[in-house]
Amino acid sequence: MGKTMTTALWNAIETIPPSGGTRKHWQMVTGSDWAPASTLLRVTGMQADTIPCFNIQPGGCYRSIIRHNAGNIRAVCAEPEKLCSSEKLTVADAEQLAVDRVKLAASLVRALQLTNGKPPLASEGLLNLGYHYVHAGLGFPVFLLLGGGTLIDAATAFSAVESFQGAKLVLTPTAGCLSSAARAYLAKIDATAMSLADFVGFDAAGELAPVAPPEQIFSALRASLEGGADQAAWRMPADAKWEEVTIQFVSNEKITVHHKGQHRSFEPSEINMMDGRTKRPDSQWALLKIIAQNGGRIPLPAPGKDRKPKESLSKKLIAAFGIPGDPIKAKHGEYVALYVTNAEGLKQGKQGAYQRNFADDD
């Protein structure tokens, strides 16, 4: 696929502190990858105090940066024995750069064809890059760990990873970013660890790209998902969108779901909306009906009221039909269904039903 596989960028990200290093430091460590790597860095606005010297020993010793004035900046050996001679630096050489987490995340999302991720914070160490989908609704979350060398408590660091059920993937710049204890913890929570240095490099255009299609690279994880029983009531095509779906109530305990000329009918038990104790439709089914009775829009719960019923409904709809992404969004003080919905088949349908306190039903 035209990749120039190199570990220079990933080694630099692992070895240079998260707070950053000088431009010259990044140039030395990334070598021939400097030009494309530089597009993934940001100026921190801070002044670096030290810079390595790679002339004396493998890995380098450190030299202090002495700023006499803008035209007189020097790197001076910090060792008492003065193992190396001083070196003149330019203002640009001494400028401190750090990984731009937003740009790096966006580049990896494009390269690995991930979707539904979360924009990272500037200082965030564990980034949620999104999902790799086998087909609609069936996939695994992908995380990127930066600064793994400073990891102290794996349980705390990977709490976001552990919150996902089933297979999940944690990417690191290099294999050395994770200690044996961290790897053991990831294995315990059913998370796979992979090193970007093993399969992502720069292509001819200077963009990050995998050495093989993501489907091939993630084949083992995909197989683990495909080997399980499909829990969807109606798994729709991989490119299906909520905006293409219509959910219509034809009776109090039956809906008809339409998608591109096809339709199927479901009762509460078939889409996991039956209360196991009472054997009656649960509060998510009731909320689904309320939304339908009001044409797909209802007010948000009052401040302080529980929003978990809506979140539970969204999760059950995603599981039932295999379409990724929240089907019910919060917009301008309302919950708005992305799908088309109505309750024209209900003989006792009544507008204004949303006024009941559905948040108390759970």
Residue 78 pLDDT:
76
* Residue 62 shares a structural domain with residue 110: no
User: Which of 76, 99, 122 lies at the terminal end of a domain, its last residue?
Assistant: 99
Kindly report the pTM of this predicted structure: 0.64
DSSP-H helix ranges across the chain: 8-15, 23-30, 34-38, 91-94, 101-112, 154-157, 159-162, 180-188, 214-217, 219-226, 283-293, 308-321
pLDDT at residue number 151: 63
Are both 144 and 30 inside the same structural domain?
Answer: no
Q: What does the angle CA 3 – CA 102 – CA 166 come to, to the nearest 5 degrees? A: 80
In a shared domain, residues 182 and 286: no
Is 349 a member of any domain?
yes
For strands 138-145 and 168-172, give the pairing: parallel
On whether the CB atoms of residues 186 and 158 are closer than 8 A, the answer is yes
Residue 234 lies in a domain: no
27/62 same-domain check: yes
Task: Judge residue 28's burial from the number of C-beta atoms within 10 Å of its C-beta, 0-12 exposed, 13-18 middle, 19 or more buried.
Answer: middle
Distance separating alpha carbons of residues 161 and 192, to the nearest angstrom: 10
Asked if residue 140 and residue 72 are part of one domain, the reply reads no
Question: Are 51 and 117 in the same domain?
Answer: no
Residue 231 lies in a domain: no
* Average model confidence (pLDDT) across the chain: 85
Which of the four pLDDT bands, split at 50, 70 and 90, describes residue 148? low
Residues paired with 336 in a beta bridge: 297, 329
Note the pLDDT of residue 262.
94
- Domain extent for 316: 242-360
Q: Please give the structure tokens belonging to residue 2.
A: 């035209």
Report if residue 236 sits inside a domain. no
Phi and psi at 59, nearest 5°, equal 90, -20
List the one residue out of 173, 98, 176 whose CA is nearest residue 143.
173
Could you tell me if 108 and 92 are in contact, meaning their C-beta atoms sit under 8 angstroms apart? no
Last residue of a domain, one of 99, 114, 132: 99
pLDDT of residue 4: 53
Q: What does the DSSP 8-state code read for residue 48?
A: P
Altogether, the residues listed in the chain come to a count of: 362
Q: Does one domain contain both 274 and 339? A: yes
Q: Determine, yes or no, domain membership for 235.
A: no
Give domain status of residue 232, yes or no.
no
Note the pLDDT tens digit of each residue in 8-44.
Answer: 999 999 989 888 999 999 998 999 999 999 999 999 9
Give the model's pLDDT for residue 294.
95
Flag whether 18 is in a domain: yes
119 and 81 belong to one structural domain:
no
- Rounded Cα distance between 200 and 323, Å, is 29
Please report the pLDDT score of residue 362 as a whole number. Answer: 40
Task: Identify the domain boundary among 226, 257, 282.
Answer: 226
Q: Looking at the domain assignment, is residue 233 inside a domain?
A: no
Which of 16, 27, 327 minimizes the C-alpha distance to 149? 16
Identify the pLDDT of residue 232.
81
Q: Quickly count: other Cβ atoms within 10 Å of residue 163's Cβ.
A: 10
Looking at the structure, do residues 158 and 70 belong to the same domain, yes or no?
no
Q: What is the pLDDT of residues 59-100, one digit of tens each?
A: 557 788 898 887 888 888 877 777 677 888 988 998 999 999
SS (H, E, C) 152-163: CCHHHHCHHHHC
Summarize the confidence of residues 172-194 as an average pLDDT. Answer: 92
Number of domains in the chain: 3
Please tell me the predicted confidence (pLDDT) of residue 122: 61
Q: Based on the domain organization, do 333 and 251 belong to the same domain?
A: yes
> Are 202 and 315 part of one and the same domain?
no
Question: How confident is the model at residue 153, as a pLDDT?
Answer: 79
Assess whether 247 and 345 both reside in one domain.
yes
Which of residues 146 and 305 earns the better pLDDT score? 146
